[in-house]
């Protein structure tokens, strides 16, 4: 995925050739970095905090806010979810040794790809789907919704493994939140909690978000084209 500076360069370069990408650089950043859009999704997403300063004091201050709850660590964009137990999931936020161990491993694995800083998020018990056949990470009932011009283009199963059964997301509230997001093309990943509530996992820019393997690509791009207002095409 492009970082915001790379996107800005691409955007400016294409504009010189009379090609205007669907999202401005500001819109790209809005969905790419969790802290940028957190205030818009706050009512429906796990409590989160973040720091650009990666030092012991900053990490302690942030993790302390979660008491003894379980949390996950990621950067402003990505997690190391496939290294779930070593570099993502922290069972007890007040266990400072464990916090340091997981965060250090996370930073080591992200290496030069670390985006901006650290984000801590309250862990929510999600409805189980299966475990990932390669990494063993717990897979839960998550969906990826693509929005273009504030309307749903398509809702996909996020994972290509496991049986979602009859589970279907209730979308009305998410469509309302989507109307407030400053982007013309983005994804919203949502998940079902064990208690039946639905939450937003994260947003992403639609141009760099992956289509799941289960996606019918022809249908998706056809629907995307249809969703572009005539004045913009």
Ligand X SMILES: Nc1ncnc2c1ncn2[C@@H]1O[C@H](COP(=O)(O)OP(=O)(O)O)[C@@H](O)[C@H]1O
Residues engaged in binding ligand X (CB under 6 A): 46, 72, 74, 78-79, 81, 121-124, 126, 140, 142, 189, 201-202
Give me the least distance between CB of 74 and ligand X, in Å please: 5
Classify each residue of 190-211 as buried b or exposed e, where b means 16 or more C-beta atoms within 10 Å of its C-beta. bbbeeeeebbbbbbbbbbebee
Q: Which is nearer to ligand X, 92 or 122 (CB)?
A: 122
What are the two backbone dihedrals, phi and then psi, of residue 5, each rounded to the nearest 5 degrees? -70, -45
What are the two backbone dihedrals, phi and then psi, of residue 21, each rounded to the nearest 5 degrees? -65, 155
Number of neighbours of residue 174 by Cβ within 10 angstroms: 22
- Which residue has 């290294």 as its token pair? 83
Give me the least distance between CB of 107 and ligand X, in Å please: 15
Q: Which is nearer to ligand X, 89 or 185 (CB)?
A: 89
Contacts of 186 (CB under 8 A, 6+ apart): 23, 31, 146, 147, 178, 203, 204, 205, 206, 209
Give me the least distance between CB of 129 and ligand X, in Å please: 9
Give me the least distance between CB of 208 and ligand X, in Å please: 11
CA atoms within 13 A on the CB side of 174: 26
- Please report, for the chain, how many H helices and E strands are present, in that order: 8, 10
Which residue is closest to ligand X by CB?
79
Give me the least distance between CB of 228 and ligand X, in Å please: 27
Q: Which is nearer to ligand X, 40 or 74 (CB)?
A: 74
Give me the least distance between CB of 219 and ligand X, in Å please: 24
Q: Which is nearer to ligand X, 113 or 180 (CB)?
A: 113
Token code pair at residue 74: 């990621």
Q: Which is nearer to ligand X, 95 or 228 (CB)?
A: 95
Q: Which is nearer to ligand X, 202 or 227 (CB)?
A: 202
Centroid of chain to Cα 98: 24
Token code pair at residue 147: 């929005």
């Amino acid at each position: 995925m492009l970082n915001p500076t790379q996107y800005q360069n691409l955007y400016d370069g294409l504009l010189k050739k009379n090609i205007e990408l669907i999202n401005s650089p500001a819109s790209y950043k809005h969905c790419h970095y969790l802290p940028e859009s957190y205030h818009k999704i706050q009512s429906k997403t796990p409590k989160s905090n973040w720091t650009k300063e990666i030092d012991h004091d900053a990490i302690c201050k942030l993790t302390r806010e979660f008491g003894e709850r379980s949390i996950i660590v990621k950067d402003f964009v990505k997690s190391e979810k496939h290294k779930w137990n070593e570099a993502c999931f922290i069972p007890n936020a007040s266990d400072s040794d464990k916090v340091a161990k997981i965060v250090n491993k996370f930073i080591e694995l992200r290496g030069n790809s670390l985006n901006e800083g650290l984000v801590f998020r309250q862990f929510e018990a999600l409805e189980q789907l299966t475990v990932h056949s390669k990494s063993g990470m717990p897979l839960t009932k998550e969906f990826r919704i693509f929005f273009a011009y504030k309307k749903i283009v398509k809702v996909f199963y996020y994972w290509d493994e496991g049986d979602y059964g009859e589970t279907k997301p209730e979308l009305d509230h998410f469509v309302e939140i989507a109307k407030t997001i400053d982007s013309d093309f983005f994804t919203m990943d949502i998940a079902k909690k064990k208690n039946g509530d639905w939450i937003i996992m994260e947003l992403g820019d639609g141009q760099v978000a992956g289509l799941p393997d289960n996606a019918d690509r022809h249908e998706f791009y056809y629907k995307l084209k249809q969703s572009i207002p005539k004045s913009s095409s």
